[in-house]
Structure 1
């Protein structure tokens, strides 16, 4: 028997959980599908100090746990499973989910986020939250007066390096090529910053850590083949993000990098009844608070769509 829902929310970061809170309070009984990383990137963050309402900060996993409990309190249902196939050609939409078979929904909210790209070198993943980060605006404050390395050569790396000079005593940019991919204006801005030093044509080999966290980055000189250890208190990996949209099979309109395109000022995608929120449609801000705000937008857009199509409360 196929189970049908008013709304299925795919993803459980700040955007998906906020949408779940709003829809559950409106008695829409949303189903929330959790992927392999429930809570999104915030579950790998230690202390969050820039989310309003927590003057002393809050641990990332705790914040996500609280948001989930809030959604459950109002009746949101959570299930864990991979979405393996989607059919968005007509309503009700169909999702094939590992462990549950086919699920149907009158509306879908996509909040699957974007995964930060990692180098895949030893010591990197083990030290996320202990000196390794992929978000300068999230974690830069914790490195006040310390040495930082930014890995990458694109615009995002230059932007993060410049931003981190507000806190760090020194920011070193490490790039495996001897040239940068960043736009000329971003390169010029970074090169003019006296706090930024450069280690170009160096390939990161290993993140080195001690008892209290990261202590250095081992790199290989691409010209000589020799390895050297760069002392640092933090490593910021800035080589881009990958939006989690592959499971949609090209049915939703995206930009050239895979981010979902929404109608300006809304969460509406190119398919009526399918909405997107959070980092999966935001390649600019990528903050917990902006993701949560877009989750609210998606829930309200979704609720109005259901009311307009007289589908609300038709399913479980």
Structure 2
């Protein structure tokens, strides 16, 4: 069966695109991956999404978005996309469990996954004191002691941001030198609330069964282990866009983020659009992802109506 539009991914971007396309009678098919709802399903309470003055649980917010899209006629199917053919329309998708699908337009909202350390206590305490987003969760640690794990620009930025809330922010890095740019290092080092635990490798995140209480680290010189007590752990070692299956198909940057025309969600392939964290490595917020999901839906609809005004000869490179 050929579809007018297929959406890959069910985070805030994909679900918002589904709502808009469904309301436009486009009957979109949404392919859910192995983690429906995206990164927000790993978040407990969301307090910065407009319209919820008392906050809302991340999984509940995603479930509400899905129900809203279904109400207007969006269809959801579980599957894993293994290959995409975008050389000509209709585009062809190979999906485990669903076979071959055809679509006139394709919206990619597969998101980005935070890199994790892979140590004991990390995944099971996600949302219970372990976070990958200081902007999302920093508020919950007002007056507390937290640690940041990482040594790059994002770690320094998040460490500085967390000093607005926490009494102490300790940076743990496995090397004795930071990878962050000089200006970002100076900004963090100039903050009295930031302390340092360098040349130490995290080996375990410790909890009392309800919340995080500390992180166990190994000194890389002596080999000795110690427990750093903390109320929260922020892992800031980067993100990986979920675009492995698209390599060689679309224009991407050196990190694998899909390139789009500024101010649009247009990729270098006419009829293929990208929204959410898969093309945004700067903001990475639910509300910005939702905004680009709306844009992708409108770009897709106008493309099918022949109203696209993009000069497609100016491909990104």
Fold shared per TM-score above 0.5? yes
Residue 69 of structure 2 is matched in structure 1 by 71
Residue 271 of structure 1 is matched in structure 2 by 269
Residue 140 of structure 2 is matched in structure 1 by 142
1-structure distance, mates of 2:50, 2:236: 26
TM-score under structure 1 length normalisation: 0.97
Aligned pairs for 1:196-215 (under 5 A) are: 196-215=194-213
Equivalent position SS for 2:143: coil
Picking from 278, 303, 311, the partner of 1:305 is: 303
Residue 103 of structure 1 is matched in structure 2 by 101
Does residue 225 of the first structure (1) align with residue 223 of the second (2)? Answer: yes
Aligned pairs for 1:190-201 (under 5 A) are: 190-201=188-199
Gaps of 5+ in 2: 309-317
Does residue 177 of the first structure (1) align with residue 175 of the second (2)? Answer: yes
Residue 92 of structure 2 is matched in structure 1 by 94
2-structure distance, mates of 1:211, 1:91: 53
Picking from 123, 130, 133, the partner of 1:132 is: 130
Q: 1:267 to 1:228 in 2, by over 3 A?
A: same
Equivalent position SS for 1:262: coil
Any idea what the Cα deviations from partners look like across 1:88-145, whole Å, max 9, x if unmatched? 1100000000111100000000000000000000000010000000000000000000
Gaps of 5+ in 1: 311-316
Does residue 241 of the first structure (1) align with residue 236 of the second (2)? Answer: no
TM-score under structure 2 length normalisation: 0.96
Equivalent position SS for 2:82: strand
Any idea what the Cα deviations from partners look like across 1:174-204, whole Å, max 9, x if unmatched? 0000000000000000000000000000000
Which ranges of 4 or more aligned residues in structure 1 deviate by more than 6 Å?
none
1-structure distance, mates of 2:247, 2:112: 16
1-structure distance, mates of 2:215, 2:300: 47
Residue 52 of structure 1 is matched in structure 2 by 50
- How far off its partner does 1:248 sit? 1.1
